[in-house]
Amino acid sequence: MTNPQPLISANELLGLVRTGADDLRIVDCRWVLGNPGAGAIVYARSHLPGSIHLDLDDDLADPTGFGAPGRHPLPSPADLAADLGLAGIGDHHLVVAYDDVGGWVAARLWWMLDVLGHESVRVLDGGIAAWTAAGGELTADVPAWPAADLHLAERWDRVIAREELRARLGSVVLLDARGGPRYRGETEPIDPVAGHIPTAQNLPTDANLTEPTGAFRSADELAAQFRDLGADGSMGPVVTSCGSGVSALHHALAMRAAGLPDPILYVGSYSDWSRSGEGVATGPEPGDPPAA
Active site residues: 242
Rounded Cα gap, residues 155 and 61, in angstroms: 15
Beta bridge partners of 97: 27, 123
Do residues 276 and 193 make contact, with C-beta atoms less than 8 angstroms apart? no
Rg (CA), the chain: 18
Distances (CA, A) of 112 to 51, 168, 259: 18, 24, 19
Distances (CA, A) of 141 to 6, 133, 144, 214: 27, 20, 10, 27
Do residues 102 and 179 make contact, with C-beta atoms less than 8 angstroms apart? no
Beta bridge partners of 260: none
